Amino acid sequence: PYYIAVFFSSFMQLGLFIHFQRWITFNSEGARFFWLSLLLQFAMFSPSIIMMHVASYFAGRYPKGKVMGWTSIGMAISVLLIAFFFGDRLDFGAFALLFLYGVFLSIFNPAKIGIMKEITSGNDLVKINAKHLSFMALGITTISIITFNYSPNDNSIISYTLLPFILSGIGLITAIS
């Protein structure tokens, strides 16, 4: 179950990033493109810095499996809301929800890393870390292949409006695992 959570969480994170970046690419240019790309980076990655102490508190205070489960549910709900916001053309509301997703992800990651020590009882950390990184890379590679020709046009493998809903379902799978 741990490796399933690792695979799907990295799949979901990069899938969201690709979805937003492609939206920015097809809907803006020049300075607007630059600022929206910067906003995307800020919304996805700044919560990991801002929430560092809070995330460490949750990962250290509560059972890591529960922290991973509840934050996965939070990520899935925020992605589901993002999907609805994109469907209703409330794109900047989706950016705000992306920041919320980043907050949940920033709490999820320390628990995901911390549980490795509990799984191995402190032994073979190198081996479990290698498997962890392999499943992360596999999740990233899979979503990259699936979204290779991803665009709002009809020639995409996955429907442009469907991907956020798929990612939300993947968030629920992550929570269950």
Does pTM top 0.85 for this prediction? no
Question: Region 60-82: what's the mean pLDDT?
Answer: 88
Q: Looking at residue 88, what is its pLDDT?
A: 61
Cβ neighbour number for residue 6 with a 10 Å cutoff: 23
Q: Which of 153, 35, 56 is nearest to 114 (CA)?
A: 56
Q: What is the pLDDT of residues 78-108, one digit of tens each?
A: 888 888 887 666 677 888 888 898 899 889 8
| 3-state SS, residue 104 | helix
- pLDDT value at position 87? 62
pLDDT for res 14: 84
Per the rule left: phi > 0, alpha: psi between -120 and 50, beta: everything else, 121 is: left
Helix (H) or strand (E) holding 53: helix 52-61
Q: Return all residues near 59 (Cβ < 8 A) that are at least 6 apart.
A: 67, 107, 110, 111, 113, 114
The confidence score (pLDDT) of residue 29 equals 87
How high is the pLDDT of residue 164?
78
Q: What is the pLDDT of residue 166?
A: 80
pLDDT tens-digit profile of 21-48? 888 888 788 898 899 888 888 888 888 8
